Structure 1
Amino acid sequence: MRFLCLHGIGSNANVFQAQLASIQQALGSQHEFVFIQGEIPSQPGPGVDGLSNGPYYSFFSAPTAPQLHAAFDIIDQALDMDGPFDGVMGFSQGASIVASYLLRTSAPDCPFKCAAFFCASMPFNVESISFHALEDGSFKDSKTGEDVSDEIRLSIPEVLDLERYTGLRGQTLHRRYAPDGSAEINIPTMHMGSEGDLEQTLLGSWSLVEYSSTLQEGGKIYPMGPDTRGILLYSPGGYMGVQLLPKETKKVKSTIHDILAYTGRYWVAPQHDGRVIVKHHMQMCSAPEFEGSIQQRVVSLSGDRLTLSCPSFVSLEVSSGPAYKVFIK
């Protein structure tokens, strides 16, 4: 079989080839993998640096009609020059482009017999009514002029992450397909580590087991004490909330170690190195200095135990390593 392969954001063909090396080896030399790459120069995605040298590319920097159609053209060019192919594979943004391409192609005309998606993000509907990203951060329907900010932040929460979608303001963008089963890819597909799988697992309430930070010289500290209480909630609507309290609470809360509570939008962001990050947009926070920021947490799941870790933490003037919050469902 012959497979066409599309890499993720801030990556290149060599990176995806390295990521698929074990699969290629397992399938054997009788199968051929053809790697293509995006045309938009990009900074390396998380975890990409160690896999291959640059330059790095993306298939789109924002889901605008010209950029999405240009990505489809790259697939069409590969089909014309190197086709036919039996299957197509995509990682992260590449998987989103593949799914978007397949969903606009009717079954008899589909150039592929199967598709494999790795850490896929939701596809975009290029036939949908577009929306306009205004300079003030709101969004308007391109046809009716109505404010659709709530809808867009619900369906594409990553538009809040300007590091991921640079130059978003002032652009006319396309909506994602609704995750209601109304759109269906009409060829056999395989999904591994998709955002949707993890989001389903995260849903519900989680009780805190431990809130700690590892010291650089070894050992642990407990920013709120070893008996910290807490609860974490992820809702189907894309909102989250967390509250952490020490065992003995103070009437007057003066520091982040007396109470930590925040709520806002969340979304899942798979990384090139295999890690998965959940991003929390702190729309309201007990610590005013964090309000409005986007906090990243590395996700680890083992059975009913969820561990969220952040890159660094400083507590009580003691520099420490990653801070961990361990929850149980």
Structure 2
Amino acid sequence: MKVLCLHGKGTSGTIFRSQISTFRAKLPDDVQFDFINGPFKSDPAAGIDLFYGPPYYSFWENDSVDAIRATHSWLNEHIAKNGPYDIALMFSQGCVLGSSMLLFHQEETPHLPPPFKAAIFICGGASLSVLEEMGFHVSAAARERDIASRSALALQAGSSAVLERGADRWTGLKSLSGGLSEDQLRNEIASPYRIDVPTVHIYGSKDPRYAAGVHLSGICELEKRRTYDHGGGHEIPRTAAVSNSIAELFQWAVAQVDTSN
């Protein structure tokens, strides 16, 4: 079982390895993880330099559809040389990369095997610009929340918030949530089709980007997806309960891949 690991913006493959170490220790030894760095040097993600030193990387320098597509070409070259991969395990910006690759593959090259057979998304959403280019209808409320959540994440994840409030810094984005259920959030994006490989969606209800994670689950096939709210912020909690749950979901994804072979 070979796993491609895609980190968040302003971190690195080495940092991602550390971030998932607790639940990864609960997995079988025969799972191979490939932690890669994005192609662009980057400033550190908000607050990350308190815990990890440089270098830091990003998968693109701006969020345009053209920039994301260019990174697809870069990653496809990596997969051709180092793959194939059974599963992609992604965090934050890595989720944007992986989800857009699966969507464009489904639209443009469905006769070819997908870049990976299953996907695990942690604290990440899809690119709304990519979705709109592909004919998805994104509601004005989803757009407004997406913009506000990015600013809120920078504040809640920042160094001063970490030092002043610790874990209490995660307060989500209550001002725009409106008390919507997960199903209501999923209905904010109308999908002409859905990602059809097995998917796992792990997000935290106190993460300002929580709705983005729920939205991403909504553009994946219901019968092939599993979701889990770890209850925290934009992070991978290392408690035993969360680690056990993520490990179980990972094993579910492995079983889906094994069944399809």
What band does the TM-score fall into relative to the shorter chain? 0.5 to 0.7
Q: What is the TM-score with the length of structure 1 in the denominator?
A: 0.46
Question: What is the CA–CA distance in structure 1 between the aligned matches of 2:194 and 2:200, rounded to whole Å?
Answer: 13
| 1:93 matches 2:83 | no
| 1:191 matches 2:201 | yes
Q: What is the TM-score with the length of structure 2 in the denominator?
A: 0.56
Write the mapping of 1:314-329 to structure 2, written as runs, cut at 5 A. none
CA change 1:197–1:63 in 2 (3 A) is closer
Equivalent residue for 1:180?
Answer: 190
CA change 1:58–1:129 in 2 (3 A) is same
Deviation at 1:74, TM superposition (A): 3.0
State the AA in 2 paired with 1:14.
Answer: T
Question: What is the CA–CA distance in structure 1 between the aligned matches of 2:17 and 2:98, rounded to whole Å?
Answer: 17
SS in 2 for 1:186: coil
For the pair shown, which has the larger CA radius of gyration, 1 or 2? 1
SS in 1 for 2:33: strand
What are the ranges of 5 or more consecutive residues in structure 1 without an aligned counterpart? 131-149, 165-177, 201-268, 276-329
Write the mapping of 1:251-290 to structure 2, written as runs, cut at 5 A. 271-272=234-235
Deviation at 1:44, TM superposition (A): 1.2
Identical counterparts, % of pairs? 27
Deviation at 1:184, TM superposition (A): 1.0
Question: What is the CA–CA distance in structure 1 between the aligned matches of 2:61 and 2:234, rounded to whole Å?
Answer: 16
CA change 1:70–1:5 in 2 (3 A) is same
Equivalent residue for 1:119?
Answer: 123
State the AA in 2 paired with 1:22.
Answer: T
SS in 2 for 1:49: helix
Deviation at 1:70, TM superposition (A): 2.5
Output one character per residue of 1:59-83: Cα deviation in whole Å (capped at 9) or x when no partner. Answer: 1342213321232123212211110
Does the 8 A contact of 2:43 with 2:57 survive in 1? yes
Write the mapping of 1:130-149 to structure 2, written as runs, cut at 5 A. none
Q: Higher helix fraction: Structure 1 or Structure 2?
A: 2
Question: What is the CA–CA distance in structure 2 between the aligned matches of 1:55 and 1:73, rounded to whole Å?
Answer: 23
SS in 1 for 2:119: strand
Does the 8 A contact of 2:92 with 2:122 survive in 1? yes
Q: Out of 107, 110, 114, which is 1:110 matched to? A: 114
Does the 8 A contact of 2:91 with 2:123 survive in 1? yes
Please give the root-mean-square deviation of Cα atoms over the aligned residues, in Å: 3.6
Greater relative contact order (Cα 8 A, min sep 6): structure 1 or 2?
2
State the AA in 2 paired with 1:7.
Answer: H
| 1:157 matches 2:167 | no
Does the 8 A contact of 2:153 with 2:209 survive in 1? no
What are the ranges of 5 or more consecutive residues in structure 2 without an aligned counterpart? 135-139, 155-187, 213-231, 239-261
CA change 1:74–1:23 in 2 (3 A) is farther
Does the 8 A contact of 2:13 with 2:37 survive in 1? yes
Question: What is the CA–CA distance in structure 1 between the aligned matches of 2:201 and 2:131, rounded to whole Å?
Answer: 24
Does the 8 A contact of 2:64 with 2:129 survive in 1? no
